[in-house]
Structure 1
Amino acid sequence: MPMPPPPDLSSLSLADVARLAAEAKLPPVERWNPAHCGDSEMRVARDGTWFHQGSAITRPEMVRLFSTILRREQDGRFVLVTPAEKLDIAVEDAPFVAVECKAEGDGVEAQLAFRLNTGELVVAGPEHPLRFDDRADGPRPYLLVRAGLEALVVRSVFYELAERAMPGPDGRLGIWSGGAFFAMEACA
């Protein structure tokens, strides 16, 4: 059965996004523990492009399908897992990229929904926190998608988040979503 195309975030309310995210049915990869079978010869580039044997996977449906069987192991490795096999996959930064954001409300009442490069929708909050990693080349924001799998937030979306920044309960700048505050700056 072909996978449906990803929804258009701009046409959805945040309530619609939350409902769609809750209805998303993913394979129970956390319950599958086959023997390790080798390397998938796949990698996910920092920009979210998926490759197999050095060639970009150009069919979005294939990328969406592979993304549903992706898992992060306890040792930090990424694998593609089915009930029958487990294959390593190289991930340069994060396996997903948050390419679009929709916001409703302000301050404590704010809700932020993100569309990933795979079409998956994620609402930031306590179960899907945002974190901001300070690096030499500038801050790098990440959104927890599921069980150790994060999305790198693209620069244009980061700028949207920065415009929403306000002092939080501890005085640090950050943003609110789903009743949770996510500091954009490290503790002093």
Structure 2
Amino acid sequence: MTDKLEQLIAHYVSAHSPTERWQAGECGVGTFLIDGAGRWFHQGDEIKRLTLVRLFASVLSCEQGEYTLKTPSETCAVTVEESPFIIVAWHVSEVAQQYDLEPTIICEDNLGRLWPICKAFPLYMAEYKDQQVPHLQLNYGLCARIERNVYYQWAEIAKYNEQRQSMTLHSAGQAYELT
């Protein structure tokens, strides 16, 4: 990855705890669930404090399809119904040009965190409710589903390839097929 792209990522992406370095035992604090709408639950009760959800998100990781909250002293399993995060808004980066980068789309997830669509955080298609839907690959094995209204907005700016009958979205010098 180029230094310029790394600088852009550092400008937007929130720090995540170094969970890959922690190897703690299982905790016994009950069940955690992230539902299909991106809401977090503990023992069946919704966690409504956004700061607490952001804290949990900073220690969430996914390894071999298993989601866990990891701290230096304990590891808790998390059930995720679809994807842990949802992209709810987007804009074109105002600072990408400062780093001599091509126009870059910045996604905002349901926790207010920002993610540039680029080589480090690429778009990919995955099934959701029996349809292929774009998702954004995040760090630590995590992903975010692209909300329908964001997808429709992207469809308006995507380039249509008549021969392939597909739409392509461009960000940070990369092309991503939306269909």
Q: How does 1:25-36 map to 2 (within 5 A)?
A: 25-36=15-26
Question: How far, CA to CA, are the matches of 2:12 and 2:129 in structure 1?
Answer: 34
Pair 119,135 (structure 1): closer, same or farther in 2 beyond 3 Å: closer
Question: How far, CA to CA, are the matches of 1:150 and 1:40 in structure 2?
Answer: 24
Q: CA RMSD in A?
A: 2.5
- After alignment, is 96-105 or 175-184 more displaced? 96-105
Q: How does 1:24-103 map to 2 (within 5 A)?
A: 24-37=14-27, 40-74=30-64, 76-103=65-92
Structure 2: gaps spanning 5 or more residues: 1-6, 95-100
Q: Is the 8 A contact 1:124 1:177 kept in 2?
A: yes
Aligned to 1:20: 11
Q: Is the 8 A contact 2:87 2:107 kept in 1?
A: yes
Which amino acid in 2 is paired with 1:29? T
Question: How far, CA to CA, are the matches of 1:37 and 1:156 in structure 2?
Answer: 38
Aligned to 1:180: 174
Question: How far, CA to CA, are the matches of 2:128 and 2:38 in structure 1?
Answer: 19
- After alignment, is 78-87 or 133-142 more displaced? 133-142
Question: How far, CA to CA, are the matches of 1:119 and 1:25 in structure 2?
Answer: 13
Structure 1: gaps spanning 5 or more residues: 1-15
SS at match of 2:138: strand
Give aligned-pair identity as a percent.
31
SS at match of 1:128: coil
Pair 173,147 (structure 1): closer, same or farther in 2 beyond 3 Å: same
Question: How far, CA to CA, are the matches of 2:93 and 2:24 in structure 1?
Answer: 43
TM-score when normalising by structure 2: 0.82
Aligned to 2:3: none
Pair 116,40 (structure 1): closer, same or farther in 2 beyond 3 Å: farther
Which amino acid in 1 is paired with 2:66? R
Q: Is the 8 A contact 2:41 2:47 kept in 1?
A: yes
Question: How far, CA to CA, are the matches of 1:153 and 1:103 in structure 2?
Answer: 16
Pair 134,59 (structure 1): closer, same or farther in 2 beyond 3 Å: closer
What is the CA deviation profile of residues 127-177 of structure 1, one whole-angstrom value per residue up to 9, with x for unaligned ones?
Answer: 100112256643311111212100111111111111122146x95421011
Asked if 1:110 corresponds to 2:103, the answer is: yes
- Residue correspondences, number: 165
Question: How far, CA to CA, are the matches of 2:43 and 2:128 in structure 1?
Answer: 30
TM-score when normalising by structure 1: 0.78
